[in-house]
């Protein structure tokens, strides 16, 4: 476990922002993480825990310690007639894990194919796509309390999962480091094909008659590849903003003024509005300010075409927020963690 000074984070964040950490450490096993927390060597310093770096936008150098979580692997922890329980370590790549579960014949995570990042971050922001959220397959997680050094277990209820949210983003923010997550997958497939784009893609693929877990995963991969830029090629962190949830009365007014508006009913009579639709409607798709841009195929995704600084991406995001506020009266909230 070696502390490195003045370390470049460019390859550790999918936006590809060239920020530097004053101090940097990589923790490669559970033991490393536990020892590090117990030693409390950096108490009093600002710290930032980095997993896959797929949801972080650096706007300046980090004047403290960046802790990269790198404990890899997954293992079977239990099974019964209908389910298998797999424990995945926080530092394992999410999509590699998802594809392995599919190859091994388990279903549940196929709609969450191709989401960039590592497993430890999946419960923190309750990742979701195409009608499924990780909470639907979640069983429990293990995390170390940074204050006491004790490893604790959290069940589903205690994680307080919500739309792109959990207790680790709210009241317990920065208080724990997640070591591993347990998922309960199905031995007999349960398909989620309610999301329109999946049905359409399955038809295109000729798989609509014989749906399988593998076909759904492939459909999701096709849809994502056609819309979302590959962070290996163009820096981005997926959706930059959350889809806002608004009251029915406000939605009815908007629907009246903008009959094409894209929205989905939510619990409690509320509506979730597609932020991408609003941004697209205002003509932002493909807009560019230097190397900071709005993706040309998905307006909710902001991109770094090469050498954009984090504050330039934030400036573009602010322009978009102001324009959405002016036309729709809605404040867009970033989904990405701005540091
Ligand atoms: N839309 C447009 N123009 C655009 C983008 C979207 O008109 O430029 C419309 C679409 O036509 C569609 C609606 O908006 O009617 C929703 O679009 P899409 O299905 O692409 O999904 P999204 O709401 O923009 C959310 C998640 C994504 C997830 C997709 C698919 C959030 C913040 N984003 O995006 O998650 O992959 O649904 O389920 O909830 C992420 O969180 O980083 C992410 C990529």
Is the CB–ligand 1 distance for residue 182 below 6 Å? Answer: no
The strand pairing partners of 69, in sequence order, are: 27
The CATH number assigned to the domain with range 235-338 reads: 3.90.78.10
The tokens for 34 are 């536990």
Is the CB–ligand 1 distance for residue 280 below 6 Å? Answer: yes
274 C-alpha to ligand 1 centroid (Å): 7
Q: What is the DSSP letter of 291?
A: T
**Contacts of 41 by beta carbon, 8 Å cutoff, 6+ apart:** none
Query: What local confidence, expressed as pLDDT, does residue 294 receive?
Result: 98
337 burial level (CB within 10 Å; 0-12, 13-18, 19+): middle
Q: Which atom in ligand 1 lies closest to the alpha carbon of residue 299?
A: 8
Q: Which atom in ligand 1 lies closest to the alpha carbon of residue 224?
A: 36
Neighbours of 86 (CB within 10 A): 25
Nearest CA to ligand 1 atom 1: 277
Per-residue pLDDT tens over the stretch 273-309: 999 999 999 999 999 999 999 999 999 999 999 999 9
32 C-alpha to ligand 1 centroid (Å): 38
224 C-alpha to ligand 1 centroid (Å): 10
Is the CB–ligand 1 distance for residue 129 below 6 Å? Answer: yes
What's the whole-model pTM score? Answer: 0.95
Mean of all residue pLDDT scores within the chain = 96
Q: Which fold has domain 4-69?
A: 3.30.43
Band of residue 209 on the pLDDT scale cut at 50, 70, 90: confident
Query: What local confidence, expressed as pLDDT, does residue 48 receive?
Result: 96
Nearest CA to ligand 1 atom 32: 242
Nearest CA to ligand 1 atom 33: 239
Query: Mean pLDDT throughout 113-134?
Result: 97
Band of residue 44 on the pLDDT scale cut at 50, 70, 90: confident
Domain spans of the chain, in order of start = 4-69, 74-186, 235-338
Query: Mean pLDDT throughout 8-17?
Result: 97
235-239 and 301-304 beta bridge pairing: antiparallel
What is the percentage of the chain residues whose pLDDT exceeds 90?
95
Is the CB–ligand 1 distance for residue 281 below 6 Å? Answer: no
Query: Mean pLDDT throughout 223-252?
Result: 96
What are the residue numbers of the active site?
A: 164, 239, 335
Band of residue 196 on the pLDDT scale cut at 50, 70, 90: confident
238 C-alpha to ligand 1 centroid (Å): 10
Nearest CA to ligand 1 atom 9: 277
Query: What local confidence, expressed as pLDDT, does residue 40 receive?
Result: 83
> What is the distance between the alpha carbons of residues 315 and 321, in angstroms, rounded to a whole number?
10
243 C-alpha to ligand 1 centroid (Å): 8
CA dihedral 204, 208, 212, 218 (to 10 degrees): 10
Residue 43 pLDDT exceeds 90: no
The CATH number assigned to the domain with range 74-186 reads: 3.30.465.10
Query: What local confidence, expressed as pLDDT, does residue 207 receive?
Result: 78
Instruction: Tell the residue number behind the tokens 């697209």, with chain if given.
Output: 280
């Amino acid at each position: 476990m070696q502390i490195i000074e003045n370390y470049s984070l460019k390859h550790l964040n999918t936006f590809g922002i060239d920020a530097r950490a004053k101090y940097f450490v990589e923790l490669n096993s559970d033991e490393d993480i536990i020892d590090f927390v117990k030693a409390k060597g950096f108490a009093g310093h600002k710290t930032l825990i980095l997993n896959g770096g797929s949801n972080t936008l650096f706007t300046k150098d980090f004047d403290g310690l960046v802790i990269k979580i790198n404990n890899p692997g997954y293992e079977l922890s239990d099974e019964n007639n209908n389910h298998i329980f797999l424990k995945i370590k926080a530092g394992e790549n999410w999509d590699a894990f998802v594809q392995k579960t599919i190859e091994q014949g388990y279903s549940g995570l196929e709609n969450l194919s191709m989401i960039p990042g590592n497993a430890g971050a999946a419960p923190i922001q309750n990742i979701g796509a195409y009608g499924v959220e990780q909470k639907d397959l979640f069983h429990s997680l293990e995390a170390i309390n940074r204050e006491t050094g004790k490893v604790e277990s959290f069940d589903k209820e205690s994680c307080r999962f919500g739309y792109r949210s959990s207790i680790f983003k709210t009241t317990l923010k920065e208080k724990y480091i997640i070591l591993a997550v347990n998922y309960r997958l199905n031995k007999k497939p349960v398909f989620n094909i309610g999301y329109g784009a999946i049905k359409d893609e399955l038809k295109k693929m000729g798989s609509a008659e014989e749906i399988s877990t593998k076909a759904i995963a492939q459909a999701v991969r096709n849809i994502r590849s056609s819309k979302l830029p590959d962070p290996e090629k163009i820096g981005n962190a997926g959706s930059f903003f959350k889809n806002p949830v608004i009251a029915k009365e406000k939605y009815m007014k908007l629907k009246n003024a903008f009959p094409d508006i894209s929205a989905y009913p939510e619990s409690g009579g509320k509506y979730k509005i597609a932020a991408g639709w609003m941004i697209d409607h205002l003509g932002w798709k493909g807009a560019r300010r230097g190397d900071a841009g709005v993706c040309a195929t998905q307006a909710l995704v902001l991109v770094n075409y090469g050498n954009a600084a984090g504050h330039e991406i934030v400036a573009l995001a602010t322009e978009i927020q102001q324009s959405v506020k002016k036309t729709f009266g809605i404040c867009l909230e970033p989904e990405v963690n701005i540091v």
